Structure 1
Amino acid sequence: MRSLQTLRWLPFSVMLSVAVVDLLAGPSLVFLPLLTLGPAFASVSGGVRRTAMVGAVALAICLPLAYHNGLLTDWQNYLTVISILGVTGASMLAARLRLERERELANVRQVAEAAQRVLLRPVPRRAGDLRVALSYTSAAAEAQIGGDLYEVVTTPHGVRLLIGDVQGKGLGAVETAAWVLGAFREAAYDEADLGDIGDRLEVSLARHLGGEQFVTAIVAEVRDGEMELVHFGHPPPLLIGPDGTSRTVDPPEHGLPLGLALLDATPAKPHRVPFGEGDRMLFFTDGVIEARNPDGHFYPLAERAVLLTRDEPQAALDALRGDLVAHAGGPLLDDAAMLLLHRQGG
């Protein structure tokens, strides 16, 4: 907000500075051509009318100063007036094109967000003895909606979940996410083994992805006292114990992302970790751990995991999200999805 106000007042500050310097320098040095900086800067943040108004102010400053310097009828002053008019006209055109592009990007982003909301249906807040919390923060980089995806389903085999991140941005990434979620929702009910779910996802993507596109993902299933996971090149989740201690759940072997099976035919292997009463498991996409603060430091998720120890999982995850945005100092550059599972005691 402060930077926007600075940009709005910058044209007037520049023109005022030029006028003061010209008065102090006297008729021997003429700085009036620099008044063209006013409308040029105005086109960066203002509209067409504002840019035209700034150009008129530049002329209103130029003519009295030229008269004061005895240059009102001099050819140099004519060139200055022509320069101000020319730069003002070009700046008005630039402002119009910028506004049209901003409107176009806003429309594309609205379409992408609408498609994403339809695609990412609300997850259940309770599944068996699990309490589920969800946080999704969209990036603010123009219309570059990402392909973060998640799902939690209760099946005859138990509670199963998926979290993933599609390579790329925009509507293409949303479309790919739709294929992944559709395949998972079907396979989660049909397949008894998590590895077979991964195979179904791979087959589905092979029919729709091209080139070197891929999807990082984790497929997991909650069982009695443990959780089984299959990693497909996705950041490992964070396990938070009842006492607040946390650790990263790294797989014994890192599998390739979905869509890259041709590079290595070895399937990703499931592994199990203890997940008992009072434990919490945080799944997230790379937009969380890759969020940087103004100094360029990544978000220290493991250090901030203590925020997830609140009794209410959604309140805990909301606190973590607020801390993430505060760390970034503004809008995130990449979508950030977080899914928190809490196994209740008793």
Structure 2
Amino acid sequence: MTVKRPMSSLAVLSWMPVAAMAVVATADVVAGPGVGFLPLVSLGPAFSGLVGGWRRTVLIGAAALALCVGLGMYDGLFEERRGFSAMASVAGVTGVGLAAAVMRSRREAELASVKSIAEVAQRVLLRPVPRTAGPLQAAVSYTSAVAEARIGGDLYEVVASPHGIRVIVGDVQGKGLAAVETAAVVLGAFREAAHDEPDLVGLGARLERSVARELEGEKFVTAVLAEIGSDREAVFLNYGHPAPMVVRQDGAVDFPRPASYALPLGLGAHEAEGPKPYRVDFAPGEQLLLYTDGVTEARDGGGSFYPLAERAHLLKDSDADLALDTLREDLVRHASGPPDDDAAMLLLRYHGHAEGKSVPVG
């Protein structure tokens, strides 16, 4: 049995010029020349100029002129000026529709070019994280608060360096292109320093210097840096960012926090002493979720924040990407509307080298 699918809105719009001319022609034949329907044949090229290309507009315009001539002869309107007036109306509307179609095509081509460039820039800025890095599996989710945008002021990166797996998740103050530019500065500095600096403190200091040089005024970036080596622990530096979530193998949830938070990147010049690293056990079978405040500050209709700790059990799928997708979908349902802020999540699973890729989770 074949199921007929409803016509798409685009298909309906494409047939509107023909339908309009058919309706006008039928009405003109039925009502006769006294009513004056003939000039309405120009609706065909008018609609075509709005929804079709210039070639189609010319074709519809020619068909409208031919129809106008045929109906004018049928109605005997060329014995007086009414027939020629109707033809002039159709020709004028066709010309205007043609100009509109040409301008629209140019704008669409420019928009497609800009979109293509933006997509390339997005892939360079927030390139896909490696699915595996050393003993870790990685998955990422990004939801921009800007409609139809893939990136905003949140940032993330995973780098396999000679000193261990180094990770950053951050949140730039503000939104829009300025925030994207700042995110590019932070990510560029991190990607370079992650390979060069022998310890996490040196990496953080280098980021601070890079951000301080580039940012103006009171702009800043909250961030958390992590380093995972082969000693089954994670080392963190926290620059005023939400604490990471660790999901233990038995399902217990922990939010390890530093003894004291450091100022965000860009404000470190006001602080006499930099952030102190702190260590957290991180063993095979456990999960680490780094995220931005767009996750925990997402509110439902009643104004309640997203209960991340209560939803940790959603990360149970053996596929890291599917597990993170499940959590993201739950976050979207909780917010029940467009996001007010960018929301980035980076999931790391410690599977070890000998244990294989399957991760038992609670």
- Give TM-score, length-normalised by structure 2: 0.64
Q: Does 1:38 align with 2:44?
A: yes
Aligned residue for 2:3? none
Give me the whole-angstrom Cα distance separating, in 1, the residues matched to 2:22 and 2:256: 60
Distance change (3 Å), C-alpha of 1:14 and 1:138: farther
SS of the counterpart of 2:214? coil
Residue 114 (structure 2) aligned to one of 79, 90, 108:
108
Aligned residue for 1:18? 24
SS of the counterpart of 1:185? helix
Within 5 Å, give how 1:121-140 maps onto structure 2: 123-134=129-140
Within 5 Å, give how 1:197-216 maps onto structure 2: 200-210=206-216
Q: Deviations over 1:43-78 (max 9, x none)?
A: 333211011112222223333333444434443443
Q: Does 1:312 align with 2:319?
A: yes
Structure 1 contact 105–142 (Cα < 8 Å) conserved: no
Distance change (3 Å), C-alpha of 1:23 and 1:287: farther
Within 5 Å, give how 1:51-200 maps onto structure 2: 51-120=57-126, 123-134=129-140, 146=152, 149-154=155-160, 158-164=164-170, 175-188=181-194, 190=197, 192=199, 200=206
Q: Does 1:230 align with 2:238?
A: yes
Distance change (3 Å), C-alpha of 1:320 and 1:88: farther
Which one is further off, 42-51 or 180-189? Answer: 180-189
Structure 1 contact 42–54 (Cα < 8 Å) conserved: yes
SS of the counterpart of 1:219? strand
Give me the whole-angstrom Cα distance separating, in 1, the residues matched to 2:237 and 2:205: 14
Give me the whole-angstrom Cα distance separating, in 1, the residues matched to 2:19 and 2:275: 61
AA aligned opposite 2:68? C
Structure 1 contact 219–229 (Cα < 8 Å) conserved: yes
1:341 is displaced (CA, Å) by: 1.0
Distance change (3 Å), C-alpha of 1:181 and 1:144: closer
Give me the whole-angstrom Cα distance separating, in 1, the residues matched to 2:93 and 2:246: 60
Aligned residue for 2:11? 5
Q: Deviations over 1:204-223 (max 9, x none)?
A: 23433457766565434458
SS of the counterpart of 1:278? coil
Aligned residue for 1:278? 285
Give me the whole-angstrom Cα distance separating, in 1, the residues matched to 2:240 and 2:315: 25
Distance change (3 Å), C-alpha of 1:7 and 1:324: farther
Give me the whole-angstrom Cα distance separating, in 2, the residues matched to 1:12 and 1:306: 57
Q: Deviations over 1:142-200 (max 9, x none)?
A: 89875664211345775331234665556x76654332112223454538566x75664
What 5-or-longer segments of structure 1 have no aligned partner? 292-299, 326-331
Give me the whole-angstrom Cα distance separating, in 2, the residues matched to 1:3 and 1:335: 31
AA aligned opposite 2:81? W
AA aligned opposite 2:238? V
Give me the whole-angstrom Cα distance separating, in 1, the residues matched to 2:73 and 2:318: 74
Give me the whole-angstrom Cα distance separating, in 2, the residues matched to 1:145 and 1:56: 46
What 5-or-longer segments of structure 2 have no aligned partner? 1-6, 299-305, 333-338, 356-362
Give me the whole-angstrom Cα distance separating, in 2, the residues matched to 1:301 and 1:26: 71
Give me the whole-angstrom Cα distance separating, in 2, the residues matched to 1:238 and 1:179: 26
Structure 1 contact 226–276 (Cα < 8 Å) conserved: no
Structure 2 contact 144–150 (Cα < 8 Å) conserved: no
Q: Deviations over 1:126-148 (max 9, x none)?
A: 33432113467999978987566
SS of the counterpart of 2:238? strand
AA aligned opposite 2:88? I
Give me the whole-angstrom Cα distance separating, in 1, the residues matched to 2:200 and 2:169: 17
Q: Percent identity?
A: 51
Residue 340 (structure 1) aligned to one of 347, 359, 362:
347
